[in-house]
Structure 1
Amino acid sequence: MARITVDDCLKKIPNRFQLTLIASIRARQLANGAESMIDNVNEDKPSVLALREIAAGAIGLELLTGNQPSSKDESQVTDEPEEQSAPL
């Protein structure tokens, strides 16, 4: 079994703070039902799978700018506030 290390990911995203942020965002997306960009043959946890995607180059800095597909639930969320009726 090949082990993923942070050093492998730092080759793709050199800033460790950005790496942490990207991995956490992607892990949350995966936990909420987003499909993996790579094969998950080992049934890895979302955090490990996120690091594997980063090391494979499937996920990168574009996740911070919002140009990356996310989970199915997040695609239905809008920034518009819901209209509330005023009590009479």
Structure 2
Amino acid sequence: MARIDWFQAGMSDGRLGIEPSYFSVYEQLCARRSKTPDREAYFAAYREGVRSYCNPKNIYQIARTGAVAIGACEDSAVIRKAVQDGFANLLEQ
């Protein structure tokens, strides 16, 4: 069985804006095989990856496509404005 690089998994999930609660799915899947995911490595990388995802410029660009999820981002006026502006730009096209 291949070993999972939990640092890379966390980085990837963060960059995709996957909510941190998704880690519980990994825990459940690993438990079926008597394994334990590396929470520390995962979340160290996740925090780094989610910063790039939750950048207002990135959120704006994604919102311009018509599909953006911000559940992984801190709730802030800047993020909400990036979503609004991106959707508004989409509607103007």
TM-score normalised over the length of structure 1? 0.29
TM-score normalised over the length of structure 2? 0.28
